[in-house]
Structure 1
Amino acid sequence: MYLLYLDDSGSAGNLADRHVILAGVALFERQPHWFSAKLDAIAQRIWPDSPATLEFRGGDMLSGRKHWRGVPKSDRTDALKEALGILGNSSLVHLFGAAVHRAAVSPDDPMERAFEQLCNRFDKFLGRLHRRANTQRGLIILDKSTCETSLQGLARDFRTIGHRWGQLYNLADVPLFVDSRATRMVQYADMVAYATRRYFEYGDGTFFDIIAPRFDSEGGVVHGLTHLKPTTELCNCFCCKQKRF
């Protein structure tokens, strides 16, 4: 089974944000333990008195909030880059992300459109594995603060009724919602979403560039990242440039 851990970045209710971001990391079921241990090692170095309580969340790390308040900015920035580098340097992970411009989908809910995109792209990824004689089911795991009620119902409808591109065939069950403090993998997802938000919302690729090569792709075509934007808006982002060639 492949597990897709997702989190959002920014606030779906904050109209000052042009984009709603949902993103995260997929990996085989036996891998989370080892990737979690790598974050534990960073936490042990930064917060040795109580490393298990140090939560890796991109916004907190860069802004110096919560446990990160007393950590020097250079150390916080280096820790975020190091954590993202664990993903960026591993061929075992497949990243997925959706950046949805509010104006492009209005009056639809941008978070639901982002989730629809990622469900479909994760399902297609599993379908590609099946065609290579590696049949796997998938399970989506989200931070419990991420629109739990609406997304659970949406995923259930996707499995039974379908979505705008067809029906999902490879998901084992409706999404699970967990406390991000209990799993390092959702914390990885938060950092991926944060890096993706900074890239699409502010044009800052400092952190996004570390993980960009790991977004799911095949034959040089990136499938794991999408940017829904107004048709009248020209965009030279990582995935929009691909669509023009």
Structure 2
Amino acid sequence: MYLLYLDDSGSSGNAADGHVILAGFAVFERQPHWLSLQLDDLAREIWPQNPDGLEFRGADIFSGKRHWRGVGKVQRLDCYRRALSILGTSRLVHVFGIAVHKASVSPDDPMERAFEEIANRFDRFLGRLHRQNNTQRGLIVLDKSSYGTSLQGLATNFRSVGHRWGQLFNLTDVPLFVDSRATRLIQYADMVAYALRRYYENGQSEYFDLISRRFDAQGGVVHGLAHLVRPENACHCQACRQRVRN
């Protein structure tokens, strides 16, 4: 089984946010333990007195909030880079990210559009594995503070009714919602989502570049990244450049 860990960044109701982001990564079921251990090692460096109590969240790391308050900015950002690099250098990680330009999909709910898009891409990833004689099921795991009720209902409809591209065939159940404090994997997903937020909202590619090679791809075509935006608002991001070429 493959597990897709997701978190969101940006708010549908906040006018200051031009985009909402839903992003994370998929790994085979045996990998989460080892990825967790590597983030635990970083936590022991930052807060040796209580490493289990240190939560890795992109916004908190950048702003120095909560347990990051007493950590210097240089150390905080270095820790963020190192955490993203764990994912970016692993060939076992498949990153997925959807950036939705809110004005371009209005009046649709941008987060529901993002989830629909990312669930479809994860399902197609599993379908490719099946065609390669590696049949796997998939499970989506989200932070429980995300759009819990609406996304769970949406996923239930996907399984029974379908979505705009057809039906999902490879997901084993509706999404599982967990407390981000209880799993390092959701914390990784949060940092991925925040890296995409910095990329699309602030034009800052430094952190995005650390994970960009791990977006799900086949034959040079990137499937794991999408920017939902009207053609007249298209940018020069990796997803928009590929769309223009095709």
| TM-score bucket (shorter structure) | over 0.9
Q: Secondary structure at the match of 2:168?
A: coil
Deviation of 1:202 (Å): 1.1
- Residue in 2 that maps onto 1:172: 172
- Segments ≥4 residues shifted beyond 4 Å: none
- The SS at the match of 1:244 is helix
Asked whether the 8 Å contact 1:25–1:95 carries over to 2, the reply is: yes
For residues 190-217 of structure 1, what are the alpha-carbon distances to aligned partners after superposition, in whole Å with 9 as ceiling and x for unaligned? 0000000110111101110100000000
* Counterparts of residues 66-105 of structure 1 (less than 5 Å): 66-105=66-105
Write the letter of the residue equivalent to 2:182: A
Amino acid corresponding to residue 151 of structure 2 in structure 1 = L
Show the 5 A alignment for 1:6-45: 6-45=6-45
How many angstroms apart in 2 are the aligned matches of 1:155 and 1:14? 25
- Write the distance in 2 (CA, Å) between the matches of 1:28 and 1:186: 15
2:9 counterpart letter in structure 1:
S
Could you say what the CA RMSD is over the residues aligned between the two structures, in angstroms? 0.6
Q: Contact 1:199–1:205 at 8 Å: present in 2 too?
A: yes
Code of the aligned partner of 1:101: H
CA contact 2:12–2:102 (8 Å) conserved in 1? no
Query: Where do 5+ consecutive residues of structure 1 fail to align?
Result: none
Residue in structure 2 matched with residue 200 of structure 1 by the alignment: 200
- In 2, Cα distance between the equivalents of 1:74 and 1:232? 38
Q: Which runs of 5+ in 2 are unaligned?
A: none
Distance 2:123 2:91 in 1: 19
CA distance in 2, matches of 1:9, 1:206: 18
Does 2:130 correspond to 1:144? no
Task: Please tell me whether the aligned partners of residues 104 and 231 of structure 1 are also in contact (alpha carbons under 8 angstroms).
Answer: no
Q: What do residues 78-110 of structure 1 show as CA deviations (whole Å, max 9, x unaligned)? A: 000000000000000000010000111100000
Give the TM-score normalised by structure 2: 0.99
Residue type at the aligned position of 1:134: N
CA distance in 2 between counterparts of 1:38 and 1:145 reads 24
| Contact 1:24–1:189 (CA under 8 A) maintained in structure 2 | yes
Give me the identity figure in percent: 67
Asked if the contact 1:142/1:175 (under 8 Å) is kept, the reply is: yes
**1:118 equivalenced with 2:118 (yes/no):** yes
**Alpha-carbon separation, structure 1, partners of 2:212 and 2:88:** 7
Partner Cα distance (1:234, 1:84) in 2 = 26
Matched residue, 1:221: 221
SS of residue paired to 1:133: coil
Determine helix, strand or coil for the equivalent of 1:48: coil
For 1:184, the equivalent position in structure 2 comes to 184
Contact conserved, 1:2 with 1:29, CA < 8 A, in 2?
yes
Query: TM-score w.r.t. structure 1 length?
Result: 0.99
The answer to whether structure 1 residue 153 and structure 2 residue 153 are counterparts is yes
1:12 Cα offset (Å): 2.6
Paired amino acid for 1:178: V
What CA distance in whole angstroms lies between the structure 2 residues aligned with 1:183 and 1:13?
A: 28
Q: Which residue identity does 1:143 align to in structure 2? A: D
> How far apart are residue 16 of structure 1 and its match?
1.2
